[in-house]
């Protein structure tokens, strides 16, 4: 079915007991040795790094992005599988999808249980990811996990420890895997791919601030003073906060900070309904509403916009462009 390159980055799928807890330690060769390979698939390995995914940095993620592009420079490669920790998988997958312009698939997978456990899910997930990478095209970056196929955009970790860990709370299931077959149920929505960014010596700082009862502008202002070039404001409801925070957003935008607005609610889009500090006022102050993208992926969209060339206006245009999928801007309901 094809020649698939597996890029190993660590995570639970590469983790062993360390005396007080599990940590990524195994290399890609050891991870691959745990899984059966679908008939007709040949596997090559890139052992990129092995870290627990909460420890990933922007530099790690940009290295992964560039590695994928380098692998696809070989026309004989039919697809890529990335083994990755589940904690930040949704962020890395979305970063790659924003910059993915090749018809060949990149499929992320991992596990919820460490390698070597009797009930481990890593081998099955890796088999499914290989099968998906070998049998899909034109779908961008995907996530194969627990017998399901998800689009990178919108997919988040919805279960802390359960095996069926990923879903897009705002969309129907993309596809499923079983009995050696991959069945796609719909086409994913994707924005126009961005150019491959340069590797900055110091990546731009992008912080996240969540609103809550009694929430004020202290943390948002502190992020600006700490040098944040981008901020993701996680509002309540459909993307709401307070007049004080709206004023802080306006001041941050005036200083050239890119501010994105999302919500702490699981599903549904940011929507301009309320004033008095609600999304109506936050958007008027310069925040960019992020549709159904949640905090981690909204941050990646901001990061990608900041890595684009040009000034503040151009980067704001790029950020808004990440929401333009299939000719429709997914901002408001």
The torsion region of residue 315 among left (phi > 0), alpha (psi -120 to 50) and beta comes to alpha
Contact (CB, 8 A) for 16 and 23? yes
Contact (CB, 8 A) for 124 and 145? no
Please state the length of the chain.
333
Contact (CB, 8 A) for 141 and 41? no
Largest CA distance in the chain: 60
Contact (CB, 8 A) for 22 and 12? yes
Report, in this order, helix, strand and coil percent for the chain, each rounded to 5: 30, 25, 45
Q: Strand 230-235 to strand 206-210: parallel, antiparallel, or no bridges (unpaired)?
A: parallel
User: Where in 60-165 does DSSP place strands (E)?
Assistant: 79-83, 106-109, 141-145, 148-151, 156-157
Dihedral over Cα of 45, 49, 53, 59: its sign: negative
Bridge partners of 203, per DSSP, are none
The torsion region of residue 163 among left (phi > 0), alpha (psi -120 to 50) and beta comes to alpha
Bridge partners of 5, per DSSP, are 44, 80
CA atoms of 175 and 182, how far apart (whole Å): 7
Structure tokens at 46: 């890139």
In the set 9, 12, 132, 136, the catalytic residue is 12
**DSSP calls for 159-174:** -SSSSS-EE-TTS---
Q: Clarify whether 12 is annotated catalytic.
A: yes
Q: Which residues are catalytic?
A: 12
């Amino acid at each position: 079915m094809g020649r698939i390159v597996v890029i190993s980055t660590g995570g639970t799928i590469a983790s062993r007991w360390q005396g007080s807890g599990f940590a990524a330690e195994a290399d890609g060769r050891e991870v691959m040795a745990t899984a059966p390979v679908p008939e007709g698939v040949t596997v090559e390995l890139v052992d990129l790094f092995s870290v627990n995914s909460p420890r990933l940095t922007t530099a790690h993620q940009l290295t992964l992005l560039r590695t994928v592009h380098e692998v696809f420079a070989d026309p004989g490669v039919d697809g890529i599988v990335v083994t990755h920790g589940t904690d930040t998988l949704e962020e890395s997958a979305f970063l790659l999808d924003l910059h993915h312009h090749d018809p060949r698939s990149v499929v992320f997978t991992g596990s919820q249980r460490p390698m070597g456990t009797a009930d481990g899910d890593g081998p099955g997930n890796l088999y499914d990811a290989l099968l998906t990478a070998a049998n899909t095209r034109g779908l961008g970056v995907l996530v194969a996990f627990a017998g399901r196929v998800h689009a990178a955009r919108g997919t988040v970790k919805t279960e802390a420890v359960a095996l069926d860990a990923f879903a897009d709370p705002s969309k129907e299931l993309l596809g499923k895997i079983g009995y050696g077959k991959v069945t796609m149920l719909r086409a994913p929505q994707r924005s126009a791919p961005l150019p491959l960014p340069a590797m900055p010596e110091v990546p731009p700082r992008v912080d996240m601030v969540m609103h809550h009862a009694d929430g004020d502008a202290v943390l948002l202002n502190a992020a600006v003073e700490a040098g944040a070039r981008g901020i993701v404001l996680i509002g309540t409801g459909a993307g709401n906060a307070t007049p004080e925070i709206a004023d802080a957003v306006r001041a941050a935008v005036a200083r050239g900070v890119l501010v994105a607005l999302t919500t702490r609610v699981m599903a549904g889009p940011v929507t301009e309904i309320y004033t008095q500090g609600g999304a109506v006022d936050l958007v008027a102050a310069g925040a960019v509403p992020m549709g159904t993208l949640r905090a981690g992926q909204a941050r990646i969209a901001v990061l990608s916009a900041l890595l684009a060339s040009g000034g503040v206006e151009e980067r704001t245009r790029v950020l808004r462009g990440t929401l333009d999928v299939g000719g429709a801007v997914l901002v408001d309901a």
